[in-house]
Amino acid sequence: MHLAYPAVLSALLFCTGLYGVLARRNAILVLMSVELMLNAVNLNLVAFDVWLSKAARDTLHSGQALTLFTIAVAAAEIGIGLAIVLAVHRNRGTSDIDRLRDTAEGHEDGTPTDGAADEKAEATA
Amino acid sequence: MTTTTLAVLVPLLPFLGAVAGLLLGRAAPGFVRPLAVLPTLAALALACTVAADQGGGRAVDAHTELTPTGSVPIELALYIDGFAVLVAVLVAFVAACVQIYSTGYLRDDPRYPSYAALVSLFTSAMLLVVYSGDLIVLLVGWEVMGICSYFLVGHYWETPEARAASIKAFLVTKLGDVPFLIGLFALATDAGSFRITTVLGTVAHGGLHHPTLVGLLLLCGVAGKSAQFPLHTWLPDAMAGPTPVSALIHAATMVAAGVYFVARLLPVFEAAAAVMVVLAVMGAVTMVGSALAALAQDDIKRVLAYSTIGQLGYMTGALAVGDRGAAVFHLLSHGAFKALLFLAAGVIIHAAGTNSLAVMSRTSGLRDRVPDAYWTMTVALLALAAIPPFSGFFSKESVLGAAEHAATGHAEHAPGSAGWIVLVAGLATALLTAAYATRLWLLAFRGRGAAAADHGRQPLSMTVILWVLAVPSLAFGGFAYRSLPGWFDGRALTPTLTTSVLGTGLALVGGLATYGTWQRTRTLAARAPLGAVAAHPEGDAGLVEAEAIAAHEPAFGDVAHAPDPADPGRLLLGPLHRHAADGFHLDAVYDALFVRPVLAAASLVQFLDREVVETYVRGAGALPRLLGAAVRRAQTGNVQTYVSALLAGTVVLAVAVLLVATGA
Amino acid sequence: MSPLTQAPHGFLSPTGVEIAFLLVGLVTFGAALVTVTTRQLVHAALWLVVALGGLAVEYLLLTAEFIAWVQVLIYVGSVVVLLLFGLMLTKAPIGRSPDADSGNRWVALAVAVVAAAALVWVVVDAFRTTWIDLDGAAAGSTKVTGASLFQNWVLPFEALSVLLLAALVGAIVLSRKAKAESAPPPVNGRAVTGSSPSVTGSGIHPIEQGGEHGSKLVSTRGSEQGSEQEGAR
């Protein structure tokens, strides 16, 4: 099989995830898009591992081991990420990313209570 | 101990007392009074010893140079002649009296420690001026007095009058001090030394290149310090300070310094006839104008302040006719009776609860409340009016005699015109002086109306001092006029017949005219009730005085005079009264001539700074501010836009790297 | 034999595996596109299942069977479930939500398209002649992977377990903190927070509501976390 097929698929999936990360409002959807990007990387790793192990360049199966590690790390990431999103939602009543603008210059929409909640959210995060 | 050592200790002791008082004032309040009184008394004793040692003989001249100081050497020098020792005795005597009086006068004042220390410092500075044989060292004492007067006049700094008066005193005297300093430098450059003996030697040999210029420059400083026309305006306002401070400034220290300085360097001034005429005119204008103004004042202390200016005019006049013996003689006797007048006025203000003569003239029985002040003030006023045989008579007659001497062309250095100016002005002033002295006495002690409230006996420290000062006021002139020439230049100070008859006659005329007028006007007093009395008449004297000063302007509309139809001065002066009460509008003239131009220049500078310079600054800041505003817009707080920009940049960079790597 | 130096297979010489890979890849890509563009949030999660499952098939086609089953177990089995729970707990709207995409959409699209173009161009340019030989023993069978993992990668593997432990502790800390704030004596978090209407110290309404939900979340998400970590191990 041509290596280009999985490589191109991986690139397209990665960019799809990239679009999702940049365009989605809901934080959980952003996390989904991050999963897509990670999976694209995984596909790349697997494909190149297969290629290199058949070509006797690499006998350690480093690509597949790294894929396993990535999956584990992604699982941990999604757990912590969801916890943060839920903490933010608990404190702010929203999980829309473009409404969390406390770092904005001027910070017009922030009320004192928001500021306090923000601090709390940061502390919990 | 040698005379030199003793003389060094005289200014040093009050200085150390002042330092110790400032350091211990808060920590150990019990030591404040001894630290204030004892060094001054010791200085008095030492000054007397020095005077006895010197004895009017050859001048003691000691000097040491601590370190080389450039082209013209500055030396720590003492120059003690007959003038110096006697003036030092007067200074120490009055200062000791003031310190003892202040322990009673300001006994409840929370700022007494710093006050006493400043008075000691003031005394020390004046003694330094008196004894110093080096002009720069003299200048040090001169300027220390200036700053001390600033602090002391502003002692009641809670009141706006005191604040304004202290700043005015400081600025006006400084205005004179700047040309004074330049004159000193010019003098020392010609003489090659700041030593007074060297300077006088140079003058004697005609080594002075610009005597007129130097003399006029020095006169500016003298006019400022000795409150001579046209720089006298600070002195009546300085009445906002406590009464003992007024006594100290007016009798012995600050204002005496200018006269004493001229007396000491008289040959420098005599080197130019123009300077002597200027001095004569200055003295004549000062004495006549101030006597007229004194006749119109309502504040008892302002009357005395203007009388001080007038008496200083006499001294200046004596100097203008080249007789420094007469000038210093009048300085000594005036020091005694003027200190007495002020301290007695302090007692009266305390007892009456007001400083207004108009209010006192509507109060009866004041002299029974304060008999000590009544009798001693009578003595002092007689001395002021130059009635024989009080001490003021002899000293004033010596001045008039010297003027007559010069007018008739017998003086070697003084021009005859100066003599005539001083003589005429002096005789006119004798009349006016007697008039305002009589007016003061009549209004203060012969009032009719409500009985004065009884606030108990005055403290012993205050009344005893009055009697102590009454002795020299009564007898100093009569006993001294024969022996003093031995201490001075040797010129006779005996009154001459012509001037004595003229002067005393005019004084009697003035006094009787005032009495007659008062007889007519006193009946008006009952019809025009006036009154403003301090809010806490039972407090200590300092508090009562501060409240009286603060109450005068709200009650009468002006610090200087009251609309009192019963005032004999009003009838005597006629249409002149309004102008005299205002000090002949000199303050307004200065306001128009100096204050407003300076303020206008300041606002111009402010305008230039705010509108012109700042415009450039703002313009320079505009571009960065615009850029900053543009950059700020990027800070939306939305993480996604940040990441978008980040990744777009990454892509661009990656493509660029690829293009470079592939060589496209 | 070096695949880079010689190219025995043409660029467009489709074999059966390649056709299958291509078709599944198209499905996967399409599902991913729908995931990031759909306006129904729950549908996005479900389309993500399709995309991740498609990837598992791709792994199988690449003879990496262990990875494929791990993919199914962890992603499809737990991560997506976790995401669905997250959507529910944040009260994501069911049905179409018109504001699912932010105003950043067109910038995002441009960046993504340019990035995709650059990446595809580079990848195709670099690997257009590279050939993977899928014949012979499977490269990713469980035996091979296990041997490799526990012979060569045992130390990173153990380090990874520490990472998972840290994530576990972190999740518990996050949950415990929220609970301690809402109810000081945490005997039974769910009962206490559920019964107490007001919260000490904080007067903000959304926080109170969030607190209740949060306490419920802790138990559910904690168990999910545990199972998912088991799966990862």
- Whether B658 and C114 lie within 8 Å, measured CB to CB: no
Q: Is the dihedral of CA B281, B286, B287, B292 positive or negative?
A: positive
Residue B317 and residue B407: Cα distance in Å, rounded?
A: 12
The stretch C60-75 carries a mean pLDDT of 89
Nearest chain B alpha carbon to A15: B647
Same domain, residue pair B509 and B604: no
B655 contact residues in C (CB cutoff 8 A): 118
* Residue A34 banded pLDDT, cuts 50, 70, 90: very high
* Residue C13 banded pLDDT, cuts 50, 70, 90: low
CA dihedral angle for residue B90, residue B96, residue B101, residue B105, rounded to 10 degrees: 110
Query: What is the distance of C-alpha A56 from the center of its chain?
Result: 33
- Decide which of C114, C142, C170 is a domain's last residue: C142
Report cis status (omega within 30 of 0) of the bond before B389.
yes
Q: Is the pLDDT of residue B97 over 50?
A: yes
Q: What percentage of chain B reaches a pLDDT higher than 90?
A: 3
The domain tally of chain C equals: 2
Same domain, residue pair C109 and C184: no
- The pLDDT score that the predictor gives to residue B601 is 94
Confirm or reject contact between B648 and chain C (CB < 8 A): yes
Of C36, C105, C107, which to mutate for an interface test with B (greatest number of B Cβ within 10 Å)? C107
- Residues B221-247: tens digit of each pLDDT: 888 888 888 888 888 888 888 888 888
**For chain A, which chains pass the contact test of at least 3 CB pairs under 8 Å?**
B, C
- The pLDDT score that the predictor gives to residue B528 is 63
Q: Is the pLDDT of residue B604 over 60?
A: yes
Same domain, residue pair C43 and C137: yes
B645 vs chain C: nearest CA distance in angstroms?
9
Nearest chain C alpha carbon to B658: C122
For residue B260, give every residue at least 6 positions away whose Cβ sits within 8 Å of its Cβ, in sequence order, or none. Answer: B83, B87, B129, B130, B328, B331
- The pLDDT score that the predictor gives to residue C187 is 42
Q: For residue A91, what are the CA distances in angstroms to A88, A115, B148, B326?
A: 5, 11, 68, 96
Residue B650 and residue B636: Cα distance in Å, rounded?
A: 20
- The pLDDT score that the predictor gives to residue B562 is 65
Of B631, B633, B639, which to mutate for an interface test with A (greatest number of A Cβ within 10 Å)? B639
C129 vs chain B: nearest CA distance in angstroms?
18
- The pLDDT score that the predictor gives to residue B332 is 87
- Decide which of B508, B523, B538 is a domain's last residue: B523
Residue C147 belongs to some domain of the structure:
no
Q: Are A106 and A113 in contact (CB under 8 A)?
A: no
Residue B650 belongs to some domain of the structure:
yes
Same domain, residue pair C21 and C109: yes
Residue pairs spanning A and B at CB distance below 8 A: 32
- Whether B640 and A21 lie within 8 Å, measured CB to CB: yes
Residue B468 and residue B98: Cα distance in Å, rounded?
A: 11
- The pLDDT score that the predictor gives to residue B409 is 75
- The pLDDT score that the predictor gives to residue B500 is 82
Grouping H, G, I as helix, E, B as strand and the rest as coil, residue C101 is strand
The amino acid sitting at B588 is A
Domain assignment of residue B632, given as a range: 586-662
Q: For residue B383, what are the CA distances in angstroms to B201, B387, B452?
A: 38, 6, 27
Same domain, residue pair B477 and B596: no
The residue to which tokens 């006994």 are assigned: B107
The mean pLDDT value of chain B amounts to: 82
pTM, entire model = 0.65
Same domain, residue pair C72 and C25: yes
- The pLDDT score that the predictor gives to residue B602 is 93
- The pLDDT score that the predictor gives to residue B283 is 87
SS3 helix, strand, coil % of chain B, rounded to 5?
Answer: 75, 5, 20
Same domain, residue pair B519 and B600: no
* Residue B379 banded pLDDT, cuts 50, 70, 90: confident
A103-107, B203-207, C88-92: least confident range: A103-107
Confirm or reject contact between C109 and chain B (CB < 8 A): no
B659 contact residues in C (CB cutoff 8 A): none
Please count the helices (runs of H) and the strands (runs of E) in chain A. 4, 0
Q: Are B183 and B146 in contact (CB under 8 A)?
A: no
Confirm or reject contact between B656 and chain C (CB < 8 A): no
Q: Is the pLDDT of residue C104 over 90?
A: no
Q: What is the ipTM of this complex?
A: 0.80
- Residues B429-462: tens digit of each pLDDT: 888 888 888 888 888 887 777 776 776 677 777 8
A97-106, B80-89, B615-624, C38-47: least confident range: A97-106
Same domain, residue pair C180 and C219: yes
CA atoms within a 13 Å half-sphere pointing along the CA-CB vector of C208: 12
Q: Are C66 and C145 in contact (CB under 8 A)?
A: yes
Residue B612 belongs to some domain of the structure:
yes
Residue pairs spanning A and C at CB distance below 8 A: 311
C131 vs chain B: nearest CA distance in angstroms?
23
Residue C6 belongs to some domain of the structure:
no
Confirm or reject contact between A85 and chain C (CB < 8 A): yes
C108 vs chain B: nearest CA distance in angstroms?
6
**For chain B, which chains pass the contact test of at least 3 CB pairs under 8 Å?**
A, C
Q: Is the pLDDT of residue B426 over 80?
A: yes
Q: Is the pLDDT of residue B309 over 60?
A: yes
* Residue C12 banded pLDDT, cuts 50, 70, 90: low
- Residues B114-163: tens digit of each pLDDT: 888 888 998 999 988 888 888 888 888 888 888 888 888 888 888 887 88
Same domain, residue pair B182 and B100: yes
The domain tally of chain B equals: 2
- Residues B553-591: tens digit of each pLDDT: 666 666 666 666 667 777 777 777 777 777 778 878 888
- Whether A22 and B639 lie within 8 Å, measured CB to CB: no
B636 contact residues in A (CB cutoff 8 A): 101, 104-105
The stretch B536-549 carries a mean pLDDT of 68
* Residue B272 banded pLDDT, cuts 50, 70, 90: confident
Residue C212 and residue C200: Cα distance in Å, rounded?
A: 13
- Residues C113-144: tens digit of each pLDDT: 999 999 998 888 888 888 887 777 777 788 88
B260-264, B406-410, B607-611: least confident range: B406-410
- Decide which of B507, B523, B539 is a domain's last residue: B523
A53 vs B540: which has the higher pLDDT: A53
The amino acid sitting at C190 is R
Nearest chain A alpha carbon to C17: A1
Phi, psi for residue B218 in degrees, rounded to 5: -65, -35
Q: Is B649 exposed, middle or buried (0-12, 13-18, 19+ CB in 10 A)?
A: exposed
Architecture of domain A4-101+110-124: Orthogonal Bundle (1.10)
- Decide which of B523, B544, B575 is a domain's last residue: B523
- Whether B635 and A102 lie within 8 Å, measured CB to CB: no
Q: Is the pLDDT of residue B341 over 60?
A: yes
- Decide which of C79, C113, C142 is a domain's last residue: C142
- Whether A60 and C206 lie within 8 Å, measured CB to CB: no
Residue B69 belongs to some domain of the structure:
yes
Closest residue by Cα to residue B87 from B44, B38, B136, B135: B44
Residue A100 and residue A91: Cα distance in Å, rounded?
A: 11
